[in-house]
Structure 1
Amino acid sequence: MNPTTPGLFGVVEGFYGRPWNPTQRRTLLGWLTTGGLNAYMYAPKDDAKHRAVWRERYDRAEAAHLAALVRECRQQGIRFIYALSPGLDIRFTDAADLAALKAKLKQVHGLGVRDFAVLFDDINPDLSPADKTRFGTPAAAQAYIGNEVLRWARDWTRDGRVLFCPTEYCGRFAEPNVAGSPYLRTLGEQLAPEVDVLWTGPEIISEVIPVDSIRELQRVIRRRPMLWDNLHANDYDMRRLYLGPYAGRPGELLREITGILQNPNCQFEANFIPVRTLAAYVREGANYSPLRAYEEALQAWLPHFKSRGKRDFTAADLRLAADIFHLPTEHGETARRYLADLRVILRSPPNSWGEVAARVEQTTRQIVAIYEKVTELADRPLAYALYNHFWEIKENAGLVAEWTRWRQAHPEAHEPFSSPGFRPRIYRGGFTAELERLLPMDEQGNFQPAS
């Protein structure tokens, strides 16, 4: 793309799970505007008409909702990008499928859409015999579709953008690697240079995205990529929640990409800090400090935690909550301290605990209190977004407290601890838990069958 073309920085609603509702999307637009971000991409995997039955046009009510969202984006200076995922079953040589794709995009163009994306992520890319005869490779077939979408977009509007998500959308998926991938190289050669290519980094969930890795990709796809950033995505493990800051992306990266679309938590209300700190990163570049942005975002979020009961969240409560539910491979400072203290208690006799026991007890009580305060939040959607996660951590904290009291009362005990409040197959029970116990993973990522 032209290096003078403005970048797209914002959010992609691109997760698996229940799509956000109109109220949540309006709130998101306010967050984007406040932060100076300029893009929203509509790509919820489980909007059936986005992916599973992509050929079907939107009915009158669905179209009205989309049109209203497009208008609201335009009013707030945010580019609305409509994405379609035809890759599950598109027949590249079938004129009817091509016509269906065009008709679907033409419909949303009629609703005010000017920017489009075509996504080929998370699919089996194998071609039918007819498609293979015509195109040879999946990359060539997909590039053809991307170019057709660009051609249609240019017929409908002069300044629209077209984005493309490849099947090899991260470094780990590139076969045999990024530099040697025939798939990526074909895209670089055949996909029109005006089309933005989406990329998640070295991994699907990339804790760090090195600048050199992006420069390597540029040489292969012959353009700067746009990040589809999954740092705060949690649809792959719904026990996780990410309230930590945007991190692991050096400021220099901004010069090597055409934008960032953040794919955050499924639970919309949990995304205040991710969106706010992304905005700070884009605004500050090389001067960005994740910790400073995190602390500022916590302060800005705290007023949303007003209570209908007698106890409001304190700044310390919110910091502990966000430190516990932080980032995929990183805990916040207060959570790290709590875990370090727990390890001391679990691995040493009670007569050596000293002040550690008091700190653990205090933090455990705070965790339980945080859960109780969540249930009393005046902002009920926020409470519902957080409830399950804080219930689980409250239960585990309660187990820690009960075990600690038992250990202090029985310092010489050698028998295992059990509690009627944490019954087997009820607590940590269920089919998934059984599967995990059969093939546990250690801290290095190794799996060994349980004995």
Structure 2
Amino acid sequence: MTSQSETRRFVSGVVEGFYGRPWTMEQRTELFKREQKWGLNTYLYAPKDDYKHRMYWRDLYSAEEAEQLIALISAAKEHEVEFIYAISPGLDITFSNPKEVAALKRKLDQVREFGCRSFSLLFDDIETEMCPADKQAFSSFAHAQVAITNEVYQHLGEPETFLFCPTDYCAAFCTPNVSQSSYLHTLGEKLLPGIDVLWTGPKVVSHFISVESIDEVSSVLKRAPVIWDNIHANDYDPQRLFLGPYKERPTELIPKLRGVLTNPNCEFYPNFVAIHTLATWCKATADGGERDVEMSDEGQDLCYSPQRALTLALTDWLQDFLILDQPGGPRHAPAHLKKESSNEESMQTAVGEATYVPGPGENPLYTAEPLTLQDLTLLSDLFYLPYEHGPTARTMLQELDWLQNNSWAATAETDKTAEWHSRAQQFDEMCDAVVQMFNRLSNAPNRNILYDLYNYICDIKSGIGMAREHVKKLGGLSQPSAQLLNDDPEPWGFRGGLSGEFQRMLPCHGNRDLFRHPPKTAVYSIRPYCPEDKTEVQRIFKEMQREKSEVPTIAKPHLISDCLSTGDLIPSPQCGLVLEDEVGMCGFALGLTNVKPAAAKMKMKVCDSVLRDFPVLVTMQLLPRVTDPAPAKRMLTSLLSSIRSCGSQGAYCELRECDRRMLDFYAKLGSFKTIPMAGLPDDIIVMGSRL
């Protein structure tokens, strides 16, 4: 597995694999130019709505279609981009029928005649139930797919690049899990070693992709996967667009992967940021490159800063917005871009007609202000990533939440009245910045980019406009706007459609909103643990166990960390901290340096090999009301610093699989890695950190 991936170049680039209108040939050629410029090397042709790629996969391309594909493959070669042709026969293929296999070979042979040398077989998003003929011929769905894939791969002469997309292409689809998936094990054992496997990560649209998760799937597949990354894909929701940076994928993944292909937004032009930041990420290495002090302060990747990559991308993208010679572009460039008059321009004004100059007291001429980097940064913040709003968007939501919750102070004469009006003014200024950004975008010379963005920016402008009017009404500064909901609202005053009606009728509506509980401004304090805190620590531990447990707590096996939290074991000196907010204790972090005697006391086994590298046990719990990870991170950092000052070189923690919140917390820290420890239940994960 490792030797093979080391001998071949890292696959990096774009997969056109979304549902919706495929990109045009001109756009794809432009993509190749950008990939070459930014250092990416691959394009995977897999548009779901190319009928002859998926639905009518048996049909050969016509002469006209062949001419287009030949030109496209040639353009890719010209720009040093590897063109991979993908075909998706899984909707209706009969694996056991030799005629079907022959049809598949014939189709790929035709594309090979076009000059294509790299191929991919995709079996994603299809039914897993085999037809009776296939059930009789193959012992499983995986065996059927492997048989036809290996045969086609060998028929094509075992090309250097041949990708296979499994039906279970993410951890969430695997039964019962990745390590025990018979489907994946069959692929790993039976697929020929030269065939690479596509993988989207923990989910179809993965928030995080950890090194540990890739190690796990690589072990099962017996090869490093190629990530098909849907982090910027928007084909599942017409109201979403993603202009945030490539992130939550540590650069430590790079040597463990065969490659990364981003499957981005359906709209071509807004993908500038997604592809540009992926290129920046691909250039980073886990053990090289410039260390990013800014990101190290956040506990993030030391080799790649998403924010810095975003700024680089937006700076380059701004130049594209200012390109004038686009089809459908404005007749005149804005004043700051206007070149010297040409003969063509002079003909647009009647001979002898003077340029209009407004008179005294008349309206001045409208002048379109130039688009700025700040405008594009704001645009990115408003349309960031699937699991995260950008900084400005988060601030606006927080401010609106505070203004609504404290609206009583707007008209009352209290200490908070001045603060309310000050924050309302700041919110209004942020809303105005969005409006101004919209105006400058609308007047940008490059209309192609604008048309891809227009529906989205109109929508956000409308939503922010209603919020702005609502705040003014709360402050008694305006009459209720016609846009605000009333007994008979205009249809453009609310988000509607049949889909919206169905969602509002379902009990789960809103439980996945990114901002359903906006964090309030809170002050946290961290202090040393004392014996009197034992009862509160027990209460927090029991409350969190009840919230996370799918079975009664008493039925779950106790861990050493449980005993530390329940008070059955006492934390070591200077190895205990508690977190408090204005309500009271809301979290704790405890350490145990003498693990071995403690384990003997509680009649538990502990792995000597682990204790040699990680002699200290730490445990931490936080109540759900602690929505800000910063104080938790400070508390754990302080505890580990105290442990390190005592001479210890490592610490470990015990986590249950159901505790996704703490698992994500430790994973995002970056310093804690999963370590094997024998003798523990299957649902226990042990993570260690060298100090």
Normalised to the residue count of structure 1, the TM-score between the two structures is: 0.93
From 391, 399, 412, the counterpart of 2:458: 391
From 100, 111, 134, the counterpart of 1:97: 100
Alpha-carbon distance in structure 2 between the residues aligned to 1:42 and 1:304: 25
CA contact (8 A) 1:81 1:115 kept: yes
Normalised to the residue count of structure 2, the TM-score between the two structures is: 0.62
Give the corresponding residue for 2:386.
328
Alpha-carbon distance in structure 2 between the residues aligned to 1:422 and 1:191: 59
Give the corresponding residue for 2:275.
275
Query: What is the DSSP-based 3-state SS (H/G/I as helix, E as strand, rest coil) of the residue aligned with 1:285?
Result: coil
Deviation at 1:444, TM superposition (A): 4.3
Alpha-carbon distance in structure 2 between the residues aligned to 1:140 and 1:353: 65
CA contact (8 A) 2:160 2:194 kept: no
Give the corresponding residue for 2:260.
260
Deviation at 1:173, TM superposition (A): 0.2
Alpha-carbon distance in structure 1 between the residues aligned to 2:434 and 2:308: 24
Deviation at 1:125, TM superposition (A): 1.8
Deviation at 1:149, TM superposition (A): 1.9
1:37-116 to 2 correspondences below 5 Å: 37-116=40-119
CA contact (8 A) 2:13 2:40 kept: yes
Deviation at 1:445, TM superposition (A): 3.8
Range that drifts further, 365-374 or 79-88: 365-374
Give the corresponding residue for 1:370.
437
Give the corresponding residue for 2:185.
185
Closer/same/farther in 2, CA of residues 284 and 422 from structure 1, 3 Å limit: farther
Please state if 1:423 is matched with 2:439.
no
CA contact (8 A) 1:226 1:257 kept: yes
Deviation at 1:93, TM superposition (A): 1.2
Closer/same/farther in 2, CA of residues 28 and 425 from structure 1, 3 Å limit: closer
**Cα RMSD, aligned residues only:** 2.1
Please state if 1:409 is matched with 2:412.
no
Match for 2:245: what amino acid? P
Deviation at 1:440, TM superposition (A): 5.6
Structure with bigger gyration radius = 2
Please state if 1:22 is matched with 2:25.
yes
Give the corresponding residue for 1:288.
304
Query: What is the DSSP-based 3-state SS (H/G/I as helix, E as strand, rest coil) of the residue aligned with 2:284?
Result: helix
Please state if 1:339 is matched with 2:397.
yes
Alpha-carbon distance in structure 2 between the residues aligned to 1:365 and 1:420: 28
Deviations 1:198-218 (A, max 9, x none): 000000001110101111111
Match for 2:181: what amino acid? S
Alpha-carbon distance in structure 1 between the residues aligned to 2:422 and 2:147: 66
CA contact (8 A) 2:503 2:509 kept: no
Deviation at 1:434, TM superposition (A): 1.1
Alpha-carbon distance in structure 2 between the residues aligned to 1:319 and 1:189: 47
Closer/same/farther in 2, CA of residues 232 and 418 from structure 1, 3 Å limit: closer
Alpha-carbon distance in structure 2 between the residues aligned to 1:362 and 1:441: 35
CA contact (8 A) 1:228 1:261 kept: yes
Please state if 1:137 is matched with 2:140.
yes
Alpha-carbon distance in structure 2 between the residues aligned to 1:35 and 1:221: 31
Alpha-carbon distance in structure 2 between the residues aligned to 1:264 and 1:131: 35
Please state if 1:304 is matched with 2:371.
no
Match for 2:171: what amino acid? G
Alpha-carbon distance in structure 1 between the residues aligned to 2:438 and 2:151: 52
Deviation at 1:376, TM superposition (A): 2.2
Alpha-carbon distance in structure 2 between the residues aligned to 1:77 and 1:397: 44
Give the corresponding residue for 1:361.
428
Alpha-carbon distance in structure 2 between the residues aligned to 1:97 and 1:418: 57
Deviations 1:317-359 (A, max 9, x none): 1111101101111111122111111111121122351321112
Higher RCO (CA-CA < 8 Å; seq separation 6+): 1
Query: What is the DSSP-based 3-state SS (H/G/I as helix, E as strand, rest coil) of the residue aligned with 1:242?
Result: coil
Closer/same/farther in 2, CA of residues 380 and 77 from structure 1, 3 Å limit: same
Give the corresponding residue for 2:226.
226
1:433-444 to 2 correspondences below 5 Å: 433-439=500-506, 441=508, 444=511
Deviation at 1:12, TM superposition (A): 0.3
Match for 1:438: what amino acid? M
The count of aligned residue pairs is 441
Range that drifts further, 319-328 or 373-382: 373-382
From 395, 400, 405, the counterpart of 2:467: 400
CA contact (8 A) 2:318 2:376 kept: yes
Deviation at 1:305, TM superposition (A): 2.3
Deviation at 1:49, TM superposition (A): 0.7
Closer/same/farther in 2, CA of residues 373 and 440 from structure 1, 3 Å limit: farther
Alpha-carbon distance in structure 2 between the residues aligned to 1:26 and 1:74: 11
Alpha-carbon distance in structure 2 between the residues aligned to 1:146 and 1:289: 39
Alpha-carbon distance in structure 1 between the residues aligned to 2:78 and 2:91: 34
CA contact (8 A) 1:87 1:125 kept: no
Alpha-carbon distance in structure 2 between the residues aligned to 1:258 and 1:390: 37
Query: What is the DSSP-based 3-state SS (H/G/I as helix, E as strand, rest coil) of the residue aligned with 1:260?
Result: strand
Query: What is the DSSP-based 3-state SS (H/G/I as helix, E as strand, rest coil) of the residue aligned with 2:168?
Result: coil
Give the corresponding residue for 2:149.
146
Give the corresponding residue for 2:11.
8
Give the corresponding residue for 1:449.
none
Range that drifts further, 308-317 or 217-226: 308-317
Match for 2:388: what amino acid? E
Whichever structure has more helix as a proportion of its residues is: 1
Alpha-carbon distance in structure 1 between the residues aligned to 2:457 and 2:477: 30
From 315, 322, 326, the counterpart of 2:373: 315
Closer/same/farther in 2, CA of residues 22 and 72 from structure 1, 3 Å limit: same
Deviation at 1:38, TM superposition (A): 0.5
CA contact (8 A) 1:10 1:32 kept: yes
1:161-172 to 2 correspondences below 5 Å: 161-172=161-172
Closer/same/farther in 2, CA of residues 177 and 354 from structure 1, 3 Å limit: same
Alpha-carbon distance in structure 1 between the residues aligned to 2:132 and 2:454: 50
Deviation at 1:404, TM superposition (A): 1.6
Match for 1:29: what amino acid? F
Deviations 1:20-67 (A, max 9, x none): 001111111111111111000000001111111111111111111111
Alpha-carbon distance in structure 1 between the residues aligned to 2:467 and 2:488: 12
Query: What is the DSSP-based 3-state SS (H/G/I as helix, E as strand, rest coil) of the residue aligned with 1:354?
Result: helix
Match for 2:8: what amino acid? T
Alpha-carbon distance in structure 2 between the residues aligned to 1:361 and 1:201: 40
Closer/same/farther in 2, CA of residues 314 and 129 from structure 1, 3 Å limit: same
CA contact (8 A) 1:371 1:387 kept: no
Match for 2:312: what amino acid? E
Alpha-carbon distance in structure 1 between the residues aligned to 2:436 and 2:220: 53
Deviations 1:285-343 (A, max 9, x none): 23111111111111111122238551221121111110110111111112211111111
Range that drifts further, 346-355 or 164-173: 346-355
* Percent identical: 43
Query: What is the DSSP-based 3-state SS (H/G/I as helix, E as strand, rest coil) of the residue aligned with 1:98?
Result: helix
CA contact (8 A) 2:187 2:221 kept: yes
Give the corresponding residue for 1:203.
203
Give the corresponding residue for 2:245.
245
Match for 1:16: what amino acid? Y
Closer/same/farther in 2, CA of residues 85 and 36 from structure 1, 3 Å limit: same
Alpha-carbon distance in structure 2 between the residues aligned to 1:341 and 1:436: 27
Q: Which runs of 5+ in 2 are unaligned?
A: 287-302, 325-332, 335-367, 411-416, 514-691
Alpha-carbon distance in structure 2 between the residues aligned to 1:373 and 1:436: 35
